[in-house]
Chain A
């Protein structure tokens, strides 16, 4: 490991599915490298005794050729088999994140959105492949870019297995893995089922009914008057509102086990 980490090393690491880079004391990390790591969701840190990089991807695909279609399908099926029956390890990792840097909405909500919109994107790309609406080369390119963005967003939740599979998809499409539109449809269909299952797990732990009840309570604390130039809040008991918010947030965090 070099004593200088640049943007190049960060991008290479992210492309290889790495989500945590173990930086030894004394190593210089350039400001651009730090910025890039943050934008790609790659964590930098030092853990004594830990291997240089936390790589869980199949070694055959780390830093080497992208998987062929049949292998990509196999990887997706294996991922689905692992996460289907019981709460996946990625969800256990996600539970460690309680609240974001600001606001009272639990982090699981944001992670759920991340995966939800990936599912929506894949539906669009799948339909485009089915209709052959976009030439294969261009379609593969945009799908790989889309996968890369979503992997970057998800990486901050330490959902390593999920990020890994998305990075492999990114690599598969970036290397023009699909040999036909049918390959695209097949792979995206498998990816949809697998990653939507993960999103389903996350959705299930969001305290929806508690948040719903809290909002119902908040609405009774104040009303709005409509005038010609819009809506204006009437007098609101702000102290009581803050107490209620604090109480609800603490309860939500407690119940998220």
Chain B
């Protein structure tokens, strides 16, 4: 994931699963500790479509996701953003890294 940052992509809203924003990434990664029981705030990678899935409310994922991160603040703001994307269809999205990882990199 970090190797492809910063990344410009597009974000759409889930049509089936619930409160989920989906951003496509240009790589395939094998499933890792994938789960169906996601919680609001979970961020996961979905190998089925090579997408980053941001769960911001009640969601039943389309398929198992490899959850690798958690939103620690600002989750409530995603409700408005999600609603906007749902109506708009697609928006431009960017993924960047702003914090160092646990190894200092």
Binding site for B on A (CB under 8 A): 80, 84-85, 119, 123, 189, 192-193, 196-197, 200-201, 203-209
Contacts and interface: CB of A to CB of B under 8 A. Distances in A.
B86 A209 contact: yes
A209 B50 contact: no
Interface of B: 8-10, 12, 15, 24, 26-28, 48-51, 86-87, 89-90
Contact of B89 (A119, A189, A192, A209): A209
Nearest to B83: A209
Given A200-B12, A204-B89, A84 B28 contact: no
A189 B29 CA distance: 9
Contacts of A119: 48-49
Contacts of B24: 196-197, 200
20 contacts: A80-B26, A84-B26, A119-B48, A192-B50, A193-B27, A196-B24, A196-B49, A197-B24, A197-B26, A197-B50, A200-B12, A200-B24, A203-B12, A204-B10, A204-B12, A204-B89, A204-B90, A208-B15, A208-B89, A209-B89
A197 B89 CA distance: 16
Nearest to A207: B89
A193 B28 contact: yes
Contacts of B15: 208
Q: Is the interface of A mostly helix, strand, loop or mixed?
A: helix
A205 to B, nearest CB: 7
Chain B CB count within 10 A is highest, among A80, A119, A189, A200, for: A200
Given A205-B89, A207-B89, A200 B10 contact: yes
Contacts of B51: 200
B100 to A, nearest CB: 27
B92 to A, nearest CB: 10
Nearest to A191: B28
Contacts of B87: 209
Contacts of A193: 26-28, 50
Contacts of B28: 189, 192-193
Contacts of A203: 12
A200 B14 CA distance: 12
Nearest to B48: A123
A251 to B, nearest CB: 13
A119 B28 CA distance: 12
Nearest to B16: A208
A234 B24 CA distance: 44
A203 B51 CA distance: 13
